[in-house]
């Protein structure tokens, strides 16, 4: 373990829908294996079980290959069999999840493509980090909604942030963020191609095949694993403390942390910039 670092135990929550979920888990585990992150993924929890979807099956198989303890409870099957009212279903499902995870004591949990909104009981039990693909002052919603909002407003920069998860989507206190310019090369030509055009029409055709849409997504997608990694590093070395839902920055007493420099250095070492 590196000086000044504490080993942190991580709970990893994911629906495991696609390549991004598998890539993020593999990325963080590789950082741990290479001694670059003083952490242990204590367990993975998925709200999908084997046989439900091809994408999540691959994610579950990956978890097993990595040797990480796996817990799963199908939210779809639970919903189909649930006898109570809709408003109480989320709370009751999370109670079942917590019972399944009894004995697990993560220092922090990471929501990595977890497609359910957490109940208040779940948020109270563990501190959860969620990744949102926008700056702290930026739009909320899915990453697709964020990109269309950026295009509609003609934004010059975007980024991503991590925040503590709460039952209100994308509203928890922000821990860290990174920025990303979406002007200059190669973006300028893509912006020029839609100059004067109605964004609602563009959303219908060509939709997500729009070059500008693709460029914005690709630039953010490359940064996101590094933001999670550097945020976990900041928790490990004490720059960010997350205790019972509270947080503090030991170095400057000011959160959220901008991790642009750390991310640029890590991506440079990996030959990405």
- From the list 142, 135, 141, 137, the residue with the least C-alpha distance to 159 is 135
Maximum CA extent, the chain: 58
For residues 250 and 24, the model is more confident at 24
Checking if the pLDDT of 34 tops 60, the result is yes
Average pLDDT over residues 248-267: 78
pLDDT of 245:
44
Q: 9-18, 37-46, 82-91: which has the minimum mean pLDDT?
A: 82-91
Question: pTM of the entire structure?
Answer: 0.89
Q: Tell me the average pLDDT of the chain.
A: 90
pLDDT of 254:
62
For residues 255 and 139, the model is more confident at 139
pLDDT of 251:
44
**Could you tell me the two tokens for 191?**
């912006």
CA separation for the pair 91, 19 (Å, rounded):
29
Domain containing residue 113: CATH number: 3.40.50.170
Domain count, the chain: 2
pLDDT of 13:
98
pLDDT of 244:
45
Average pLDDT over residues 26-48: 97
Q: For the CA atoms of 227, 151, 114, 131, what is the dihedral angle to 10 degrees?
A: 20
Q: Where is the domain boundary, 111, 126, 141?
A: 126
For residues 5 and 168, the model is more confident at 168
C-alpha of 185 from chain center: 27
122 and 137, same domain (yes or no): no
Strands 246-248 vs 128-132: parallel, antiparallel or unpaired: unpaired
Q: Is the dihedral of CA 97, 20, 258, 230 positive or negative?
A: positive
CA separation for the pair 198, 165 (Å, rounded):
35
If you search the block for the tokens 């964004």, which residue do you land on? 199
47 and 166, same domain (yes or no): no
120 and 142, same domain (yes or no): no
| 5 band by pLDDT with thresholds 50, 70 and 90 | low
**Could you tell me the two tokens for 28?**
């963080």
**Could you tell me the two tokens for 257?**
């942390």
93 and 175, same domain (yes or no): no
pLDDT of 242:
81
Which residues have CB under 8 Å from 126's CB, separation 6+? 11, 106, 108, 109
Q: Using one digit for the tens of pLDDT, what is the confidence trace for 226-256? A: 999 999 999 998 888 886 444 554 444 467 8
194 and 74, same domain (yes or no): no
CA separation for the pair 93, 210 (Å, rounded):
39
Strands 174-181 vs 257-258: parallel, antiparallel or unpaired: parallel
136 and 267, same domain (yes or no): yes
- From the list 31, 30, 26, the residue with the least C-alpha distance to 44 is 26
203 and 263, same domain (yes or no): yes
pLDDT of 65:
97
10 and 114, same domain (yes or no): yes
CA separation for the pair 134, 238 (Å, rounded):
25
Paired strand residues for 108: 10
If you search the block for the tokens 């997504």, which residue do you land on? 217
Q: Where is the domain boundary, 126, 146, 176?
A: 126
For residues 142 and 57, the model is more confident at 57
- From the list 241, 234, 221, the residue with the least C-alpha distance to 262 is 234
**Could you tell me the two tokens for 226?**
């590094």
116 and 13, same domain (yes or no): yes
Average pLDDT over residues 102-124: 93
Q: Using one digit for the tens of pLDDT, what is the confidence trace for 63-99? A: 999 999 999 999 999 999 999 888 899 999 999 999 9
H or E stretch including 264? Answer: helix 260-269
pLDDT of 97:
98
Q: Where is the domain boundary, 95, 126, 157?
A: 126
Q: 23-27, 80-84, 164-168: which has the minimum mean pLDDT?
A: 164-168
54 and 118, same domain (yes or no): yes
137 and 245, same domain (yes or no): yes
pLDDT of 1:
52
CB-side exposure of 74: number of CA atoms within 13 Å? Answer: 14
pLDDT of 86:
80
163 and 209, same domain (yes or no): yes
Write out the residue range of the structural domain in which residue 67 sits: 1-126
């Amino acid at each position: 373990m590196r000086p000044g670092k504490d080993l942190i135990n991580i709970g990893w929550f994911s629906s495991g829908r696609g390549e991004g979920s598998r890539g993020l888990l593999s990325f963080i585990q590789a950082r741990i294996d290479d001694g670059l992150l003083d952490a242990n993924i204590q367990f993975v929890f998925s709200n999908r079980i084997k046989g439900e979807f091809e994408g999540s099956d691959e994610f579950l198989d990956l978890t097993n290959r990595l040797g990480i303890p796996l817990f799963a409870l199908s939210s779809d099957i639970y919903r189909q069999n649930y006898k109570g009212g809709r408003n109480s279903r989320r709370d009751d499902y999370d109670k079942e999840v917590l019972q399944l995870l009894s004995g697990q004591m993560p220092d922090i949990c990471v929501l990595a493509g977890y497609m359910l909104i957490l109940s208040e009981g779940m948020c109270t039990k563990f501190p959860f980090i969620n990744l949102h693909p926008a700056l702290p002052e930026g739009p909320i919603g899915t990453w697709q909604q964020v990109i269309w909002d950026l295009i509609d407003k003609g934004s010059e920069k975007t980024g991503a942030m991590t925040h503590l998860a709460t039952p209100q989507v994308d509203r928890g206190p922000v821990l860290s963020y990174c920025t990303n310019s979406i002007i200059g090369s190669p973006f300028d030509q893509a912006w020029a191609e839609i100059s004067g055009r109605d964004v609602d029409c563009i959303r219908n055709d060509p939709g997500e095949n729009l070059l500008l849409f693709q460029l914005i997504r690709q630039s953010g997608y490359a940064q996101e694993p590094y933001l999670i990694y550097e945020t976990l590093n900041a928790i490990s070395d004490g720059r960010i403390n997350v205790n019972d839902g509270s947080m503090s920055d030991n170095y400057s007493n000011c959160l959220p942390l901008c991790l642009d420099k750390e991310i640029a250095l890590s991506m440079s070492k990996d030959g990405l910039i």
